Amino acid sequence: MATKKKSGASKLAVWVIVGLLMFGMIGFGAAGLNGTQRSLGTVGDKSVSISSYSDALQSETSRFQEQIGRTLTQQEVQSIGLDQRALNRVINTRALDQLVSDLGLSAGDARVRSQVLEIPAFQGLDGQFDRVAYAEVLQRNNLKEADFETSLREDTARRLLQKAVLAGINTPSAYSQAIVSYISETRNFSWARLTQGDLVTATPLATEANLVTFHAENAEKYTTPSAKNITYIWLTPEIMAKNIKVSDIDLRAAYEARSDEFIQMPSRLVERVVFSTQDEAQNAMDAISEGKSTFEQVVEGRGLTLQDVDLGDVTKTSLGDAGASVFALTEPGVTGPADTDLGPALFRVNALLDGNTQTFEMVKDQLRTDSAQDIAIGEIAAILEEVDDLLAGGATLEDVASETEMELGNLDWHVATTEGISAYNEFQNAADSVTSEDFPTLANLGDNGLFAIRFEADVAAVLRPLDDVRKEVAAAWTTQTVQQKLVSLAERIAPQVSLEVPLARFGFTENIEDDMARSDTVENTPPTLVFTAFETDLGTATVLEDAFGVVLLIPREEHAADLENEQVKSIQNIMQNRINSAMAQDIFEAFSNAAREAVDVDINQTTLRSVNSSLLAGG
């Protein structure tokens, strides 16, 4: 038990000193904060230190960045509310510290001394506490000994309070048992898909009245989206390369420069074990050939591992004199001994890899395209300044297109437009934000291209006339009508289906699914199929729809969770621990909020803004 307490104290102390070191590296001398300003305000009688807030903010930000896999900007941190979340954490902590003081709880001097002595940063080369190192570390972090020891005392007392609040929190096992029973229950069910072929009537044909009504009732499907009419100029390496000629001499040179890409020699996946003498190598080879030993045993006998002797993917030339015998093998196996620079060796070939040679004629067109685009990138860079100067001088997009290689275009753009220049994210972003107040400016495309745009007018959404979409409307009407007929057929059949009268009795292909859990899925069926199987009474058929037609489903048998099964028991234990942890977290959060409501909170907003500016700008 004593060892356990010591471990906990050590971990606590390490985190405290890490927090101090992080604070020391931030450097609050910038952004209008002087070296003596250390408090954001007060919670009750307790001061809220800038260092505690900075640690909390960095922790919140780092956790969120790990979740999304990228770095957040200052604006994103504040828009998400991570700064407020960090501030609330610190305020709640200090509110608890105030409550601890009001209750008269405190950690003794011996406890604080023990924690200080265990912090590695305060120890000398002999592993013992160094009084000089202690003073220097605190001085570097602009902390007084009394303040640091007070923080340790408060943290220990707060943890004692937390343990007292959470002691004995343990939800009834029936709760986790009910959840596990729900998760682990399985069902057997059958299903059949009804398609147009199951209808006895011919494919329905729409009348003019049907089409007119369907077109009107589904107007949103046949209405062009509102858009922006945009004029643009653009030039990409692909566009410019069309007019660039590349000589065969240059293509030959490009082929030679990329020969490693086009000419891949045959290779082998090889392992090699080296011996001191030819006799040792031969004896090992004889033992392998006679079945008395294996290559792995030979390697192990040399005190090596297979990883030590792995040469990877090698060519005949790279093996030197041993290449001939290694490449003479027509299937995986062991060969040798063969002379190497390190001595006689045995080689094991694990795979034979064929080479691949692409002749100049085979890749000539690819080389021409690549070379032309490389040249085009340089030429586009050369005209960039000219185009920029023309636009800055007031030239229209039409003028620039007539005087340079830039191409002129116009389109009605909306967010679903993805053809041509709209395939570029850079254009999409520019088109989304452009207004009539904006002047055309040159911008880059992702493939080293250039573009500039001009807003012309807003284009209102328009319902396309029936004559323009007649085929689409007719097809949609037919699909909907067939679906309705299938649903009607399924609903007539469903009451007749039972455990004694299976789906196959009606001429359908019956699919059997056994031991299906709630988390399982069935390919090419409605997403709710399995869920519905658990929500429907046994022996009762139900109807589901999806984009491919209609499905008839009937649950046949249910299997309750086996709570005595070891795997199920393990799941319940895990679930019980998670429930207890979540319950404890919720209770302590409520307790902390109550403690906060009982004290006065005074945060200097000007100081907070300055701290955020310094922290987030630095991040």
Euclidean distance between CA atoms 522 and 357, whole angstroms: 45
Give a yes or no: residue 257 inside a domain.
no
Give a yes or no: residue 574 inside a domain.
no
- Cβ neighbours of residue 305 under 8 Å, at least 6 residues apart? 299
Q: How many CB atoms lie within 10 A of CB 410?
A: 12
What local confidence, expressed as pLDDT, does residue 166 receive?
75
Percent of the chain whose pLDDT exceeds 90: 46
What local confidence, expressed as pLDDT, does residue 37 receive?
58
Give a yes or no: residue 502 inside a domain.
yes
Q: Residues 116, 129: contact at Cβ < 8 Å?
A: yes
Q: In the chain, count H helices and then E strands.
A: 23, 19
Give a yes or no: residue 294 inside a domain.
yes
Are residues 83 and 212 located together in one domain of the fold?
Answer: no
* Region 78-94 average pLDDT: 89
Question: Final residue of a domain: which of 460, 491, 516?
Answer: 460
Residue 106's nearest CA partner among 38, 157, 56 is: 157
Are residues 88 and 138 located together in one domain of the fold?
Answer: yes
What local confidence, expressed as pLDDT, does residue 617 receive?
61
Residue 348 belongs to a domain with what CATH number? 3.10.50.40
Are residues 440 and 494 located together in one domain of the fold?
Answer: no
* Tokens at 458, concatenated: 């807003």
Range of the domain at 272: 266-354
Give a yes or no: residue 369 inside a domain.
yes
What local confidence, expressed as pLDDT, does residue 618 receive?
54
Are residues 436 and 379 located together in one domain of the fold?
Answer: yes
Average pLDDT over all residues of the chain: 86
Weakest mean pLDDT among 382-386, 549-553, 587-591, 613-617: 613-617
Weakest mean pLDDT among 2-6, 422-426, 459-463, 551-555: 2-6
Per-residue pLDDT at 32 exceeds 70: no
Among 73-87, 116-130, 149-163, 321-335, top mean pLDDT goes to: 321-335
What local confidence, expressed as pLDDT, does residue 522 receive?
93
Q: Residues 171, 567: contact at Cβ < 8 Å?
A: no
Residue 276's nearest CA partner among 240, 306, 248, 301 is: 301
Are residues 273 and 201 located together in one domain of the fold?
Answer: no
* Region 451-478 average pLDDT: 95
Residue 151 belongs to a domain with what CATH number? 1.10.4030
Are residues 195 and 134 located together in one domain of the fold?
Answer: no
Give a yes or no: residue 163 inside a domain.
yes
Residue 486 belongs to a domain with what CATH number? 3.10.50
Q: Could you report the per-residue pLDDT of 304-339, keeping only the tens digit for each?
A: 888 889 998 899 988 998 999 999 999 999 999 999
Question: Final residue of a domain: which of 354, 387, 413?
Answer: 354
Question: Final residue of a domain: which of 440, 460, 480?
Answer: 460
Euclidean distance between CA atoms 52 and 514, whole angstroms: 56
Q: Could you report the per-residue pLDDT of 53-69, keeping only the tens digit for each?
A: 888 898 888 888 888 88
Are residues 204 and 136 located together in one domain of the fold?
Answer: no
What local confidence, expressed as pLDDT, does residue 186 receive?
94
Are residues 503 and 549 located together in one domain of the fold?
Answer: yes
Q: Could you report the per-residue pLDDT of 504-561, keeping only the tens digit for each?
A: 999 999 999 999 999 899 998 999 999 999 999 999 999 999 888 899 999 999 999 8
What local confidence, expressed as pLDDT, does residue 10 receive?
38
Give a yes or no: residue 179 inside a domain.
no
What local confidence, expressed as pLDDT, does residue 549 receive?
85
**C-alpha dist (Å) from residue 4 to 102, 165, 440, 540:** 29, 21, 69, 58
Report DSSP letters for 300-361, one per residue.
Answer: HHTT--HHHHEEEEEETGGGGGGHHHHHH-SSSEEEEEE--TTSSEEEEEEEEE--EE--HH
Are residues 63 and 161 located together in one domain of the fold?
Answer: yes
At residue 294, the 3 state secondary structure works out as coil
Prior bond to 527 cis, omega within 30?
A: no
Are residues 423 and 475 located together in one domain of the fold?
Answer: no
Are residues 164 and 22 located together in one domain of the fold?
Answer: yes
* Region 369-385 average pLDDT: 90
Are residues 547 and 484 located together in one domain of the fold?
Answer: yes
Weakest mean pLDDT among 80-89, 205-214, 395-404, 491-500: 80-89
Weakest mean pLDDT among 165-169, 422-426, 551-555: 165-169
Residue 272's nearest CA partner among 187, 366, 339 is: 339
* Region 226-232 average pLDDT: 96
> DSSP E strands: which ranges in 44-185?
46-49
Per-residue pLDDT at 487 exceeds 90: yes
At residue 566, the 3 state secondary structure works out as helix
Give a yes or no: residue 250 inside a domain.
no
| The total number of structural domains that make up the chain | 4
What local confidence, expressed as pLDDT, does residue 3 receive?
32
45 φ/ψ angles, rounded to the nearest 5 degrees: -95, 0
Give the total residue count for the chain.
Answer: 619
Residue 137's nearest CA partner among 122, 115, 119 is: 122
Q: Could you report the per-residue pLDDT of 97-114, keeping only the tens digit for each?
A: 888 888 887 777 788 788
* Region 380-403 average pLDDT: 93
* Tokens at 292, concatenated: 């008395």
Report DSSP letters for 514-541, one per residue.
Answer: EEEETT---TTS-TTHHHHHHHS-TT--
**C-alpha dist (Å) from residue 137 to 48, 125, 262, 326:** 22, 15, 60, 63
* Predicted TM-score of the model (pTM): 0.48
At residue 328, the 3 state secondary structure works out as helix
Q: Residues 191, 552: contact at Cβ < 8 Å?
A: yes
- Cβ neighbours of residue 347 under 8 Å, at least 6 residues apart? 270, 271, 272, 319, 322, 325, 326, 334, 335, 336, 338
* Region 573-585 average pLDDT: 84
* Region 576-604 average pLDDT: 87
Euclidean distance between CA atoms 439 and 515, whole angstroms: 65
